[in-house]
Amino acid sequence: MSASLARRAAAEAIGTAALVAVVVGSGIQATELSRDIGVQLLANALATVLGLGVLIALLGPISGAHFNPVVSLAAWLTGRRSPDGMPLREVAAYVAAQTAGAVAGSVLANAMFSRPLVSWSTHDRFAGHLWLGEVTATAGLILLIFGLLRSGRGHLAPITVASFIGAAYWFTSSTSFANPAVTIGRAFTDTFAGIAPSSVVPFLAAQLVGAALGLALVVVVFGRPAPAEAAVVVPHNDTAPAER
């Protein structure tokens, strides 16, 4: 039998919470162990790459391992004409689970390092070049994920998606949030990985623009999908263990 929506949403919440805990926790640890900003960023990026790869491999067979509202929205847009596509009500459940999970992950990381459970970030990221970085990172992420699916190589998502995010930490000015849920969650911690609440909305807008651009690039490179193609991050079947 197929995994229930509740179970898939739980996987998304747990996966996103774990991802944000890795991002925020490794950022705190890095700043406590080194004063060099380059070393801090390297440690933060490496932990994120490893954590994200593991989480996609673990939870992909259950929920598709979106962990990202723009990925879920893109999955709905690309599969809405297919009988196997993701219904809008499931997108809503995923987005709610991802956002709640991201906040919980930030709170957990704060708690693990004896910080206030909620401490609004004062790390201002309000600048045009950072928004361009978010457009670029999100477009690249969407092109990668849906390009892999279109070419029948979705099984490579754990290593390729994690690798792209790790690279984008360094080649984008924004250090590649590329995820609305993670962006919101990171506003709850006044640490290395935080983002000031006043900077959140422009980041979300840039990520949505990037997602649209990424989908356009998928069409340019791979053509329009066949009606039967469904969109997920990791191929998952409807007989997943214990049953996304």
Of 244, 174, 220, which Cα lies nearest the Cα of 6? Answer: 244
Mean predicted lDDT score pLDDT of the chain: 92
pLDDT band at 45 (very low <50, low <70, confident <90, very high): very high
Q: 237 versus 206: which is more confidently predicted?
A: 206
**How far is residue 27's CA from residue 29's CA, in Å, rounded to a whole number?**
5
| Average pLDDT of the residues in 33-62 | 97
Measured distance between the N- and C-terminal CA atoms of the chain, rounded to whole angstroms: 12
Which pLDDT score, from 0 to 100, does residue 31 have? Answer: 97
Structure tokens at 57: 């491999």
Q: How far are the Cα atoms of 56, 103, 179 from residue 75, in angstroms, in the given order?
A: 16, 23, 14
Report the CATH number of the 5-222 domain: 1.20.1080.10
Domain residue ranges of the chain, discontinuous segments joined by +? 5-222
Which pLDDT score, from 0 to 100, does residue 232 have? Answer: 54
Which pLDDT score, from 0 to 100, does residue 229 have? Answer: 46
In the numeric block, the tokens 């774990």 are attached to 18
**How far is residue 75's CA from residue 197's CA, in Å, rounded to a whole number?**
28
**How far is residue 145's CA from residue 166's CA, in Å, rounded to a whole number?**
15
pLDDT band at 2 (very low <50, low <70, confident <90, very high): confident
Of 28, 60, 80, which Cα lies nearest the Cα of 161? Answer: 60
- pLDDT digits over 94-104, tens only? 999 999 999 99
CB neighbourhood size of 132 (10 A): 16
Whether pLDDT at 114 is above 50: yes
- pLDDT digits over 167-198, tens only? 999 999 999 999 999 999 999 999 999 999 99
Q: 226 versus 118: which is more confidently predicted?
A: 118
pLDDT band at 234 (very low <50, low <70, confident <90, very high): low
pLDDT band at 224 (very low <50, low <70, confident <90, very high): confident
Contacts of 68 by beta carbon, 8 Å cutoff, 6+ apart:
16, 98, 141, 178, 179, 180, 181, 182
| Average pLDDT of the residues in 109-130 | 98
Which pLDDT score, from 0 to 100, does residue 243 have? Answer: 37
**102 in Cβ contact with 12 (< 8 Å):** no
**84 in Cβ contact with 230 (< 8 Å):** yes
